[in-house]
Amino acid sequence: MSAVGYHNVFRSIGGERYRVLAVEKPGARNTSEPPVGGTAEGCPQAFIEEHTLDRWAEALKASLAAARSIAGVTADRTLVIGHSEGGVLAARLTRLDPAIAHAALLASPGPDPVEELAIWGESRKRPRADTLAMVASIRAAPDSTSD
């Protein structure tokens, strides 16, 4: 578990009242940030291949199943919290696991990530048309890890 992050806030205020399980993105490196913040540029191939909705959801399901096997963990009182893109996964996990009682999304993306990406690109002087063309090429090969 890293020394920083929201999970430590929950741990510090919860005491023995609840357990906290923090799950990082599959393929993420704990020791360094991506070379180009906010992108996958320069990330290891393992991260690019593993950091998908389906793979991350599977990692979360497996982690939650393991946690629920620990004495004192009550499966029917599970609260899932996701921050940023983790909020998307918190919602996905809640959809996949009917035993989850509640979900909380902290600063999670809105319903249109393409618009968010376009705004981000514009802030870096990338024309909106270029971003939309990039999104179209990604959608044309949704299973590719290099397009």
In this prediction, residues 100-114 reach a mean pLDDT of 80
Measured CA to CA, the distance from residue 128 to residue 122 in angstroms comes to 6
Q: Looking at the predicted structure, is the pLDDT value of residue 121 above 70?
A: yes
Q: So what's the pLDDT on residue 97?
A: 92
What pTM does this model have? 0.67
Q: Higher pLDDT residue, 77 or 80?
A: 80
In this prediction, residues 6-21 reach a mean pLDDT of 78
Average pLDDT, the chain: 81
89 closest CA partner among 123, 51, 118: 51
Neighbours of 71 (CB within 10 A): 4
Q: Looking at the predicted structure, is the pLDDT value of residue 32 above 60?
A: no
Q: Are 89 and 64 in contact (CB under 8 A)?
A: no
Q: So what's the pLDDT on residue 94?
A: 92
Measured CA to CA, the distance from residue 6 to residue 72 in angstroms comes to 23
> Residue 1: pLDDT band by 50, 70, 90 thresholds?
very low
Which two three-digit tokens encode residue 66? 């393991």
